[in-house]
Each structure stands twice: as C-alpha cells, then as structure tokens.
Amino acid sequence: MIESIAFYMMAGVALGSALLVVTLRNTVHCALFLGLSLAGVAGVFGTLGADFLFASQILIYVGGIAVLMIFAVMLMGRTSDLTLRQVNQEWLAGLLVCAITAVGLWRAAKACLSATASGSPAASTRPLGRLMLGDYAVPFELISLVLTAALLGAIFFTRREAGGRK
Amino acid sequence: MTLTLGHYLFLGSGLFIIGIFGALTRRSVIGILMSIELIFNAANVNLAAFNRFLHPDGVTGQAFALFIMTVAAAEVVVGLALVLAIYRSRDKIYMEDINIMRG
Amino acid sequence: MELPLLSLITFIPLMGALAVLCVPKENRRVLEALSLTAAAIPFALTVWLYFAFDRSTAAMQFVERHAWISTDAVRIDYYLGVDGLSAPLVILTTLMSLIALIASLGIKERFKEYCFWFLILEVGMLGVFESLDFFLFYVFWEITLVPMYFLIGIWGGPQKEYAAIKFFLYTLAGSVFMLLGILALYFKADPHTFDMLQLMKIHGSLSFRFQVLAFLAFYFGFAIKVPAFPFHTWLPLAHVEAPTAISVILAAVLLKMGVYGIMRVNYPMLPLGFEWFLPYLVIIAVINIVYGALCAMAQNDMKKMVAYSSINHMGYCLLAIAGASATGFAGAAFQMINHGIITGALFLLVGVIYDRAHTRDIGAFGGLAAKVPVYAGLMSLSCFASLGLPGMAGFVSEFLCFLGAFPRWKIYAAISVIGIIVTAAFFLRMIEKVFLGPLNNKWADLPDMNARELLSVVPLAVLMIVLGIWPRWALDMMNTTMVGLAGLFR
Amino acid sequence: MIEYVWLVPLLPLAASLIILFVGRESDHSPMPYVGIAAIGAGLWISLRVIFDGAVGAAVLPFEKDWSWYSFAADLGGRAFIFDMRAGVLIDGAAAVMLAVVCLVSLLVQVYSLGYMHGDTRFKRYFAYISFFTASMLGLVVSNNLIVTFACWELVGVSSYLLIGFWFEQKAPPYAGKKAFITTKLGDLGFFLALLLTFTYAGTYNIVRLKEAVAMGYLPPVVLTFIGLGLLAGAAGKSAQAPLFIWLPDAMEGPTPVSALIHAAPMVAAGLYLVARVYFIYLASPAAMEAVAWVGLATAFLAGTMALVPYDIKRVLAFSTVSQLGFMMCALGVGGYTAGLFHLTTHAFFKALLFLCAGSVIHAVHTNDMRSMGGLSKRMPVTFLTMAVGSLALAGIPPFAGFFSKDLILEKVFEHSHLMFAVLVFTACLTAFYTFRMLFLTFLGDGRDHDRVAHAEESGSVMTVPLLILAALAVVSGWLFEHGHAFASFVGNGGAAEAAAEAAGHGTQAAAGHALNPMVLAVGLTAAAVLLILLAYSLYGGPDLSRAARIKERFLPVFNVLENRWGFDAFFLFLVDASDRLAVLCRWLDTEVIDRIFVDGWGLICRVFAEISHLFDALFVDQAVDGCGYVSRDVAGRGLRSLVARGQVQEYLLYLAVGVSLFAILNK
C-alpha cells in the first residue's frame, strides 16, 4: 500500500514537472523543473526496488545533467526570453501526433495491467556490479571510452571557438 | 490496489509523450535537449519496470538503464557543447533560425 | 601455445603501416624510425625462422590454421606454413624490404604515404609466400598489386602513370585467369576445398583436358609475373619508371611470385598439364635467356639493361623448372634468391648514380672508377655476380639450373649458354663505358656513395660472396623439399 | 708438409684481401710485402712437396677433400641430396705446376716493386696480383672440376682487372674486356662439358671421374664431347686457335702482368687442364686428335704472325701463343711429359723475356722497337739475360728450350710426319723472330736518340729476378732432362703415354719409324743457328733498308700477317653481328611484342567496351535516366520546397507521425 502511495506521488511529481518543462516560458524554470521531474523518476526507481538506479539517477541526472542544463541556460540566457514565446507554430500538429501516439501506447500498456510483481525486490547493487565487471565488462569499458570521447569532443568544440574569437 | 506493470508503463508512456511533445514544439535548442532527457527517462522507467516484473531474478534491465544514463550524459555534454558553439559563432539558439540543412 | 611466427612476420608491417598513418607527416624522424622498425622486426623474426627451420623434412613448418570464413557452403582457412621452397623467399622478402626501405629514406615527397604503401606491399608479398589456402593466396596476391600501382604511379619517373597502369592492368589480367584456375580446382575437388596441400593430392582424379586448361590458366597468371616471353614487356617500363627502391622490390620479390607459383601450383597440382607444357616451357625459357640478354645488350639506359637482364635471369629459373628434376628445382629456388640479392643490388646502384647525375645513359659517363672507386667496386662486383662469376652466388644457382635442365633438354641447354656470354658482354661493356677509360670531365666532382647507400648495398654484396663461397647456408634449407618435390610423381 | 698444401692458394687469397682492405694507397705502403710473404710461403710449401715426393716422404698422388655444399640431385631416376666435396689433389704435374706458378709469381711481384713504383694504385696492383695467383693456385690443386672451373673463371677476372689496370686510357679496358669475353667464349665449352660430366658420371671429383671412365660408364660419344668442350675452354684460356685474338691486345697491361699471364700461370692453365683430365682424351681418340690439330694450327699461325710486329711485347705474345701450340700439340699426340716439360721450361724463359722487355720499356718508355736499338751498352744486364732467354726460346743447346722442344718434336714425329714438318718449320721461325726482336732492340744504332740516350739499367729489385730466371733458363732443361727425373716425377706421364699407344695413338710409332734423337737435335740446332745469322744480317746492323726491301716485295704476305690472318676481323664481325641482332631484338620488343601483347589487349578490351557502351547507352542508361527524371522533376521539385526547409523539428515531426502510425495501427 505504501508502495502504491509512493508510486503515485512520485509519478505525479515526475509527470507534472515534465509537463511544466515543456510548457513554461522561462527557460531557467524549465531547467529547474527538469531536475524535479528527474528526481521523481528516481523515486519511481525506488519503488521498483532498484536502489542503485535510484542513486545513479540522483547523482547523474539530478546532480549532473540538470545542473549542467541550468548552467547552459544561464550562459546563453537573454533577458528577452522571458517575454518571447517558447513554443513554435507547429505545436498543434505536435499535439495531434502526440495524442495519436498516446492512444497507441495506452492500448499497449493497458494489456499489462494484470502483470503483478512476484515476491519482494532483492537488493540489486551487488548483482549489478558483478554483471558490469563480468559479462558486460567489454561494453562497460566501451561506454567509458564513449564518455571520454564525449568529454574530449566537448572541450574541443568549445575551445576552438574560444580560440577563434581571440 | 496493487501496482502492476501497466502502471509503470503508463508513467513511461506519459513521460515519453511529454518528451516528444517538447522536442516537437520547443523553440530553443536547450528546451529540445531537456525534452530528450525526458524521453530517455521514459525508457529507463520502462526498462526498470520490465526488469522488476518480468525477470525479477536478474538485473539486466537495470544494467541497460545504467548504460542509457551514461550515454545520455555523454549526449548532453556534446549537445550542450554544440549548442554553445553555435550560440557563440552565430548568436542563435532558436531552431527556426538554424536551417543549414535546407535542401 | 606456440608463437604464431608467420603471422607476426606478416602482420607486423601491417601494424607499422597503420601506425604510420597516425603520425603527422611533418614528423619525418618518427616516420622513418617507425617504418624501419616495422620492417626490421619481421626481418629479425625471419632470421629466427632461418635458425629454427627444420632442414630435414619436406613438410610444411610453422603451420598456423584457423577457420576464417566457415559456412555450410564454403570453408576458407587462415592457413599459413612454409617449407624449403617458401621459407628462403620469406627471408628474402623481409631482407629486401628492409634494405629497400633504407634506400628509400632519400624520398622527399609524400614520405608518409610512401611508407604506408610500402609496408602494405610487404604484407602482401609475405602473405603470398606463406599462405597455404588458395583463397588467402589470392587475396595476398591482389594486395601486392594496389600498393605497387601507387608506388610506381606517384613516386615514379616521367612516364609513371603509363607504366603504373600498364603494370596494373597486365598483372591484373593475369590474376583474373589465375582466379579462374583456382575456382576450377576448387570445384573439381571433392569435397570442395581451397586447401592447397589437399589440392596437391587430387591430381589423380583430374582428366588430362582439365589439367591442360587449368595449367594454362595458372600459367598465364604466373608467367606475366615471372615475366616469361612474350608477357614481359611491362617489366622494363615498370622498372625504368619506378623509384629505385620499388625497382628493387619488383625485381627481388615480385618476380619471384611467378616462379614460386609455377613451382607451388602448376607442377604439384597439375602434373599432366605440366608434362604436356614442358616442351613449350623450355622454348620459352630459351627465348627468355637469349632474347632477354640480347635486348639488354642493345639498351643505353642502365636501368633498362638491368631490367632486361632480369628477364634473362628468370629464364634460367624457367629452364630449370622445365628440367623437372630435383637439381632443377633446387637451382630455380636458389636462383630466385640470388637474383633477388644481385639484381636488387644492381638497381640500388643504378639508383645511386641516377640520384647524382640525373641520367642513366651508359654513354654519358666514362672513367668514373678513378672518381668514385667504392661505387665502381661495388657495381663491378654486382655485375660480375650477375653474369655468373664463380665464387659468387649467381654462379652456383645458374649452374644448378643448367644442370637440372641438361639431362632432359641437352640441345636447348646448349643454346641457352649463349645467354651467358651475351650477359658477360653487356655487363662488361657497361663497366667499360661507365667506369673505365678517360674521365669524362662533366663528372669531375661526382661524390662517392654515402653511408646510407653503403648501408643498403654492402649487406647484399656480402651476401653475394658468402652465398657463392658457402652455398650450403642457403641450399641446405631447400634440398629436402626439392627432393620431395621431384619425387612426387616418380 | 703435404697435408698443408691447401694453404698454398689460401695464403695469397688472404694476402690479397688484406692488401685491398688494409692501409692506404701510398708508394711506401708495406702491403706488397704481405703478398710477397704469402707467395714465398706458398713457394716453400710447394718446394717441400716436390722434395718430399721425390724422396718418397710423401705419397703422390695425394688427395684430401672436405664437404663443401650439398644440393638436390637426381641420377638414375632417383632424387637425393648430393654431397659436393672439394679439396686438393696433388700429383706430380700439380706439384711442379705449383712450384712454377709460385716461383714466377714471386719473382714478378719482387720485380713489380720496382716496375710499378710511383703508380697511383700501387697497393691495389699487388692485391690483384695476389688474387690472380691465388685463383691460379686454386686451379692447380683442386680435385673437383667445379672448383677448377671456378678458379678458372677467377683467373679470367683477375686477368681482366690486371690487363685493364691502367684504365684511364682507352685501350687497356678494351683489351681486358676482349680477353675476358674471348676466354669466356671458350669457357662455354667447359661449361657444357661440366654439364655432360655430371649427367653421365655423377661426380666432379677427378679421381672418381677417372674411375668412371676406366669402368666405361661414359659412352664414347659423350667422352668426345666432354673432351672437345674442355678443349674449347683450354683454347680460350691458353690462347689457342682461333681464340688467341685476345692475347696480343692483352699486352696493354703492365709488363710484369704480361709475364705473369703469358709465361706460366694463366696461359698454362688450359694445358694444365687438358693434362689433368688426360684420361678423358686417352679414352677418346677423336678429341685427342682435335687437341693435336688445334695445337698445330696455333703454333703455325702465331709463329708466322710473330714475324711482323714492331711492338716488342707483341712479338713475345705471338711467340707465347706459338709455344703454347707446341705444347698443346704435344699433348694431342700423347706426349704428356713432353708437353708439361715444355710448359715448365717455357714458363721460366718466357717470364724472363717479358721481364726483360719490361725492363727495356721501363727505361725507354715505349714498346716500339723502331725507337730502340743499340741498348746493349746502356743496359748490359738486361741485354745478357734477354739473350739467354732468346737462346732458350730458339732452342739452342744447352738452354732449357732445346730439351723440351726436342722432346715434343720426337713425339710428333712418331704421330704424323705432316705435323712434324709444320712444327719444324715453326721452330725455325721461332729462332728467326726471337732474334729479330733481340737485334732490333739491342744492336745497331739508337734510332730514337732521345729515348735511347736517357735509358738506364734498371735497379737491382728488377735485375735480380732477371738473373734468377736466366739461371733457371740455362739449367732447368738440363736438370729435368737428366735421368728422366721430370718424367718419372710427373709420374703418370709414362703410364699415360703407354695408354696412348694402346689406344691406337702414335699409329706410326712402329719401331723402325722412330727418329734418331741425335739427328733431330743436330739438324734443328743447325737450322736455328742459320736463321739467327739471317736475322742478324737483316736486323743486326745499323742499316735496316734490306729488311724494308723484303717487306716491300712481300707486302701482301706482310699485310695478311699484320692483320693476323683475318681472325680479328672475323671476331669483330661476330661482335658487330651480335650487336645488330641485339638492336633488332630491342626493336622487336618495343615495336612488335609490346604492341601485340599490350596494345592488342587494349584493342580487344576497347571492342568489348564499345559494344557494352552501346548497350549501356541504349538500354541501361535510359532506364537510369528515367528513374532520375521521375525522382528529380516529378517528385523532387515539388516535395523539396514543401518539406525540406532545413527545419529539424519538421523532420522530427514527420518521424513522429510515422511512429504514431505504428503505435496506433498495431493490434
């Protein structure tokens, strides 16, 4: 029962702030709500018993990505943004498409309403660790390469520009 | 009323739809990036849920979710760097102004 | 686990080539060091191979076999191995590659690309001699073509494009026929296989007609490479236009692929076709010998002369093969090595004078011996080795070639000795015109050879003499295999 | 000592390498002494070998060999690994030859110290000489025909280097090349003989080969061909007809080299070879006969040619060729001992003559005898020694040449009277031209006063070798002849002659036909003395007009002789013909074969290309164009302006529409 309540709360937070993210005019607020939404998803992970995911979500998304977004917004922010429209002309089309998709997804998800969980969730951190350094060792290393490459790429992009301006 | 897989999938779908909507309609590039993060999260929720409900003995789904997080982090880093670069060189952050792909 | 020696030898140059790509082209020192290392390590390994080689067996050694492409329909193996026929050639290849690379250090333009293509070329050449799977063989065979095309076409002389395209198309035409032969054998074998050792065992089930046709297909491919008359005309042109080091490789290694192919494929796999072709082969050999020598005598361009002398020398190999005897095979195998060393040195030396004088016209010089004694000495030494002076490597192998062919083809062998005297004539004439007589004042301040050039030529000169005085060191490697080869159909 | 005989060739070889690579070029380089020491040691060993052999302390023939290399061979239909062994085989002839070569070489080297002094390549000269000696000695000792052939060719190369030693001039390199190629021409015969030998006998060891011949393993035809092939080789190296053309030109080299090449070592190599494999000739009468006739022709032709030249060295060269013909002829008629005997004595006095000539040339700086004359007062030692040499060459007793030539003529008489007559005639010519040379050089007036007046006797480093050789020229004939010591030492000589007779040679050697040696000796000597007097009357005085008149009367004959019977022209024609052939081949290659096999390919490809191009243009291309037209003009223009506006979000929208369709349409 508690689980259910927690789930609904967290899901509400996540969905609600997500909605705000895509509709608010002030980009700074958008970024803040993004953080909230991500935290909500973290909570949902908690209800699933995925404690490691929960932690990661907080650390990476809320602590990292969302903060990064805020920084980015502040770096590029213009005062006029607050008065300008943040939604383009095609929002109606987008809404339509989303609605159609939503119907499709609804029908798919509805079929799963009968599947319940068996037993209580086991602690997942240890098996996750084994998996990562066992069967998935190579992808694990590869993903770290991807991260490094992304980091280098980012530095490269921004630095070149900085040099160009001088 | 116990929680079922369906609940989680509804949540995932919701986040996904919102993300898609955002990606389609936001004018600023950063907004689009945020929306994409939402889509990623929708996928993660689904993965974690499938793991919990369909294969409670393993943790493969969570592992995949972890990978996605990492990729998402990389994507955000590069994305933001690109946005920053474009912003610096062209002083633009709105999508309709960036049309170098015009056929 | 045993060390995959052959794979290491073959693919270290490849790694070197890839590494070269990663070095910025301004870092010439690094490029030089890297490519030299990539050529030196395989050479060191082949020295090891030389000592580790078991001289008492005719079987394949250092065999590596792994399934490469394996489906229900086809099975292609990564299958390497060497015996007394191919091991000396592998050693020759790594040696000549290293030396040619040393000689190329003087290249100024686009050095990075040069090193890359050169190392790729080495991979291909080594692979051809090592592979025991026909598919692999063909792949390596083709790999040698492309780098050669670029090496001639970019770094060559005035007519380089024409020479490169001629070389490429001509040899490609040959290899297409070879592919035909490979496929024919593949489908005749039951079960279908590309395994060359396996294919050597099926000749009993092949009809005469089939053998003749397959023989011609293979022969066509190999004869162009040898080059056997009348498919030889690409050679002088390619040699003349190619940069020095590439001429060296072309003469020292690429031509050997043709003879090697005939000895590895045509003879053991298609004995009836081989037997049928022998009378024609011996005539072709005689033409190669006499006609090649005569053509060489009429040349004014030193490089062209050496190129035609190659045709003459490869004629000895063909003659020896036509003898179809153990001595003949040993002679052909040894002649390949010696021709590689000697003609390699000759091309290097011609390159040395061309670098200084910017001409190769024999008539343009005169009396250089007083001016450049070291160069004159080495050149004369190589010329004497090439004309088959006893005490030097060329004699032993030439003699074995004749000795192998003589019992079967007495008259033809007797005609062929004309080639010896003509060879002597044109080499001596060249020496006389270039080095002896009054000094042509135009070259009064010609510098003698520098350290790099000496480093590339002197080892070859030493080898010429050592192998001439003590041929045991080379022949012992080959003997058992040749006896086995000759005994195949007795 | 005989176990160390393999050192004899190796010592000079080592010396030559040391001289070549150690030290710098200088007049005072100590390096020549290395070579002299090496050859001195060789001489000592070979003399010890002769001594040991003579007193029975060493057993001759002595053979010792080592495994050299092995190669895959097949004999009798079986493939196996053949072990090639190389080593030394010393019989009497080899021992004598060793000593002769060592001695002449040693004296020549000592002499060269003076003669070559001041040359820019002083050191290198000695390296070449040592190398030459080494290969010559190798040829002598080898028990394996392959090694013999190898050394044979090396001798050729070193003579090439030595003849062309003064390469800054035009003529010496040309002469060197001519010598090399001409001898190489003969070597082709040697080469083919080697091929035949292995194919039929399966060995290169001379002793094994002898056994094989004795057992009759080799068919007679093959033996004849082997014999002829070896003869061709010998004719090249020993300057026999018709390959003697290189020898007069070879005089371009330094004079000590001429002594070395022409006196003993190099030109003797051919004879030595024939003697070494004498058993082959004994087994093949036809080959034997060929040897005799080649020798005869050579002796006669060269003897006549020696009558006309004014170059002092050329006279000697032709005389050498002529004497070699004598020896060859002797071998051909079964006179094994006689031939080798003449070889030995000739080595001494011909070396002497060359060195004397060198001494003269060194003093007057010209080869032309017309610029000499009257040198006897200025160079007494040279004159005396040269006179000794000339007497020996002319065959006047008691000088060495008398004994050996006498022996040869006896042998030839037994074989054929015709040959005998020709040889006697030639022997008389010898006396005439030798003294013509001597008188022209030393007697009469100095015709070129500048040169003659400044001529001075050479230093002792040059005259001492002359004196030693002169002494040998005096005594050697008598010494060897005495008690038939030479014949018994050369050993198998007697056996060989007996075998020759058994084989049907000496057909006229029936007891009654033998020539009385005394008659021959007295008659020959008288004739020689007569001709010497004739030569004196023509050339001995200050007035040469009579000689000139004779020349005018017999001008056509003189012309023929000066043109060397047209042999040179013939070989030049051969060279020219092969050059033309070569040019023809080149033309054929670039203009015909290249065209056919390359451009021909091109043409075929072009034809196919045209056909496929036609097909392509008519059908395939039209279809492609059709597709392109539809996509570009119908769809492209319309759609592009509508959708491809570069707005990424629009693209995303299209994508989303697609996705939503999937989502909604699934069941």
Residues D357-375: what's their mean pLDDT? 81
A87 min Cα distance to partner chain D (Å)? 12
Task: Give SS3 for D643.
Answer: helix
Q: Is D70 in Cβ contact with C476 (below 8 Å)?
A: yes
- Per-residue pLDDT for D177 more than 70? yes
Distances (CA, A) of A118 to B45, B47, B51, D160: 18, 17, 12, 103
Q: Is B98's Cβ below 8 Å from some Cβ in A?
A: no
Are C285 and C400 in a shared domain? yes
- Per-residue pLDDT for D436 more than 70? yes
* Distance (Å, whole) CA D28 – CA D119: 11
Q: Note the pLDDT of residue B83.
A: 83
Residues 6+ apart with CB under 8 A from A83: none
- Per-residue pLDDT for D499 more than 60? no
Residues D653-667: what's their mean pLDDT? 82
DSSP letters along C240-299, please? HHS-HHHHHHIIIIIHHHHHHHIIIIIHHH-HHHHHHHHHHHHHHHHHHHHHHHHHHHT-
Provide the residue range defining the domain that includes C95.
Answer: 1-269
Half-sphere exposure for D105 (CA within 13 Å, toward CB): 34
Are C74 and C217 in a shared domain? yes
How long is chain A?
166
D228 backbone dihedrals φ, ψ, rounded to 5° = -65, -40
Residue D349 located in a structural domain = yes
Are C240 and C304 in a shared domain? no
B70 min Cα distance to partner chain D (Å)? 24
- Per-residue pLDDT for C72 more than 80? no
Residues D63-81: what's their mean pLDDT? 84
- For chain C, the domain total comes to 2
Are C24 and C93 in a shared domain? yes
Q: Is A64's Cβ below 8 Å from some Cβ in D?
A: no
Chain D residue whose CA is closest to A100: D660
Task: Confirm if C157 and C141 have CB atoms less than 8 A apart.
Answer: no
Q: Note the pLDDT of residue A166.
A: 38
Chain B residue whose CA is closest to D651: B24
Q: Note the pLDDT of residue C263.
A: 92
Residues C332-339: what's their mean pLDDT? 93
Chains C and A touch (3+ CB pairs under 8 A): no
DSSP letters along B61-99, please? HHHHHHHHHHHHHHHHHHHHHHHHHHHHHH---BGGG--
Q: Note the pLDDT of residue D485.
A: 64
B39 min Cα distance to partner chain A (Å)? 10
Q: Which is more confidently placed, A117 or C297?
A: C297
Residue D564 located in a structural domain = no
Residues D576-598: what's their mean pLDDT? 81
Chain B residue whose CA is closest to A141: B67
A54 min Cα distance to partner chain B (Å)? 10
Residues D193-208: what's their mean pLDDT? 89
Residues D647-660: what's their mean pLDDT? 83
pLDDT digits 0-9 by tens, A39-54:
999 999 988 888 888 9
Mean pLDDT, rounded, of chain C? 89
CB atoms under 10 Å from CB of D488, counted, come to 13
Q: Is A104 in Cβ contact with D663 (below 8 Å)?
A: yes
Domains of chain B: 5-92 (1.10.287.3510)
Task: Confirm if D405 and D326 have CB atoms less than 8 A apart.
Answer: yes
Q: Which of C477-481, D467-471, D587-591 has the lowest mean pLDDT?
A: D587-591
Are C284 and C418 in a shared domain? yes
- Per-residue pLDDT for A26 more than 60? yes
* Distance (Å, whole) CA A110 – CA D561: 126
- Per-residue pLDDT for D605 more than 80? no
Last residue of a domain, one of D526, D558, D590: D558
Last residue of a domain, one of C238, C269, C300: C269
Show which subunits contact C, needing at least 3 CB pairs below 8 angstroms. D
Are C118 and C83 in a shared domain? yes
Chain A residue whose CA is closest to D649: A90
Q: Is B99's Cβ below 8 Å from some Cβ in A?
A: no
With the CA atoms of B91, B94, B96 and B99 taken in that order, what torsion angle do they form, in degrees rounded to the nearest 10? 50
Q: Note the pLDDT of residue C438.
A: 86
* Distance (Å, whole) CA D414 – CA D420: 9
Are D483 and D631 in a shared domain? no
Q: Note the pLDDT of residue A13.
A: 92
Q: Note the pLDDT of residue D553.
A: 78
Q: Note the pLDDT of residue D512.
A: 44
Chain D residue whose CA is closest to B96: D647
Q: Is D195 in Cβ contact with C475 (below 8 Å)?
A: no
Are C252 and C311 in a shared domain? no
- Per-residue pLDDT for D376 more than 90? no
Confidence of residue C466 (pLDDT cuts 50, 70, 90): very high
Last residue of a domain, one of D491, D524, D558: D558
Are C320 and C382 in a shared domain? yes
Q: Note the pLDDT of residue C163.
A: 85
- Per-residue pLDDT for D283 more than 70? yes
Q: Is A64 in Cβ contact with B66 (below 8 Å)?
A: no
Task: Confirm if D323 and D434 have CB atoms less than 8 A apart.
Answer: no
Q: Note the pLDDT of residue C140.
A: 93
Mean pLDDT, rounded, of chain D? 82
Burial label for C446, CB within 10 Å (0-12, 13-18, 19+), is: middle
Q: Is D79 in Cβ contact with C326 (below 8 Å)?
A: yes
Are C310 and C393 in a shared domain? yes
Chains A and D touch (3+ CB pairs under 8 A): yes
Residues 6+ apart with CB under 8 A from A133: A140
Strands D62-75 and D78-90: antiparallel
Q: Note the pLDDT of residue A164.
A: 47
A164 min Cα distance to partner chain B (Å)? 9
Half-sphere exposure for D533 (CA within 13 Å, toward CB): 6
Residue D327 located in a structural domain = yes
Are C101 and C75 in a shared domain? yes
pLDDT digits 0-9 by tens, C92-128:
999 999 999 998 888 888 888 899 999 999 999 999 9
pLDDT digits 0-9 by tens, D533-555:
888 887 777 777 777 777 777 77
Q: Is B42's Cβ below 8 Å from some Cβ in D?
A: no
Q: Which chain D residues have a beta carbon less than 8 Å from that of A88?
A: 649
- Per-residue pLDDT for C360 more than 80? yes
Chain B residue whose CA is closest to A111: B6
Q: Is A134's Cβ below 8 Å from some Cβ in D?
A: no
* Distance (Å, whole) CA B35 – CA B31: 6
Q: Which two tokens stand for residue D138?
A: 């190798």
Name the residue among C265, C124, C142 with its Cα closest to residue C197: C265
pLDDT digits 0-9 by tens, C177-203:
999 999 999 988 878 888 888 888 888
pLDDT digits 0-9 by tens, C405-428:
998 899 999 999 989 999 999 999
Residues C332-359: what's their mean pLDDT? 91
* Distance (Å, whole) CA D62 – CA D207: 11
Q: Is A95's Cβ below 8 Å from some Cβ in D?
A: no
Chain D residue whose CA is closest to B97: D647
Averaging pLDDT over each range in C457-461, D113-117, D160-164, D344-348, which range is the top one? C457-461
Show which subunits contact B, needing at least 3 CB pairs below 8 angstroms. A, D
Q: Note the pLDDT of residue D509.
A: 42
Are D388 and D470 in a shared domain? yes
- Per-residue pLDDT for D603 more than 50? yes
A109 min Cα distance to partner chain B (Å)? 5
- Per-residue pLDDT for D507 more than 50? no
Mean pLDDT, rounded, of chain A? 83
- Per-residue pLDDT for D130 more than 80? yes
Distances (CA, A) of D45 to C443, D19, D136: 49, 22, 16
Q: Is C407 in Cβ contact with D199 (below 8 Å)?
A: yes
Are C17 and C109 in a shared domain? yes
Provide the residue range defining the domain that includes D485.
Answer: 291-558
Ranges of each domain in chain A? 1-79, 123-166
Q: Note the pLDDT of residue B14.
A: 93
pLDDT digits 0-9 by tens, D11-56:
999 999 988 888 777 777 788 888 899 999 999 998 888 888 877 7
Residues 6+ apart with CB under 8 A from D581: C294
In D277-379, alpha helices (H): 278-283, 285-305, 312-332, 336-364
Are D452 and D362 in a shared domain? yes
D630 min Cα distance to partner chain A (Å)? 30
Mean pLDDT, rounded, of chain B? 85
Q: Is A94 in Cβ contact with D664 (below 8 Å)?
A: no
Name the residue among D440, D468, D469 with its Cα closest to residue D360: D440
- Per-residue pLDDT for A70 more than 90? no
- Per-residue pLDDT for D508 more than 50? no
Q: Note the pLDDT of residue C217.
A: 92
DSSP letters along D137-160, please? HHHHHBSBHHHHHHHHHHHHHHHH
Q: Is B103 in Cβ contact with D649 (below 8 Å)?
A: no
Q: What ipTM describes this predicted complex?
A: 0.67
Domain A1-79 falls under CATH 1.10.10.10: no
Q: Is D168 in Cβ contact with C370 (below 8 Å)?
A: yes
Chains D and B touch (3+ CB pairs under 8 A): yes
Residues 6+ apart with CB under 8 A from D564: D245, D248, D305
Q: Which two tokens stand for residue C282?
A: 């011996």
* Distance (Å, whole) CA C96 – CA C29: 22
Are C310 and C209 in a shared domain? no
Residues D447-457: what's their mean pLDDT? 74
Last residue of a domain, one of D539, D558, D577: D558
Q: Note the pLDDT of residue C44.
A: 94
Q: Note the pLDDT of residue C75.
A: 84
Q: Note the pLDDT of residue C236.
A: 87
B57 min Cα distance to partner chain D (Å)? 30
- For chain D, the domain total comes to 2
Confidence of residue D505 (pLDDT cuts 50, 70, 90): very low
Q: Give the DSSP H/E element, type plus range, for residue D74.
A: strand D62-75
Residues D174-198: what's their mean pLDDT? 90
Q: Which of B47-51, C258-262, C396-400, D650-654 has the lowest mean pLDDT?
A: D650-654
Q: What is the CA radius of gyration of chain A?
A: 20
Q: Note the pLDDT of residue A78.
A: 62
Q: Is D185 in Cβ contact with C298 (below 8 Å)?
A: no
Chain D residue whose CA is closest to C429: D177
pLDDT digits 0-9 by tens, D134-153:
999 999 999 899 999 999 99
Q: Note the pLDDT of residue C73.
A: 75
Q: Note the pLDDT of residue D494.
A: 47
Residues B55-73: what's their mean pLDDT? 88
Are D578 and D552 in a shared domain? no
Q: Note the pLDDT of residue A122.
A: 73
* Distance (Å, whole) CA D656 – CA C431: 82
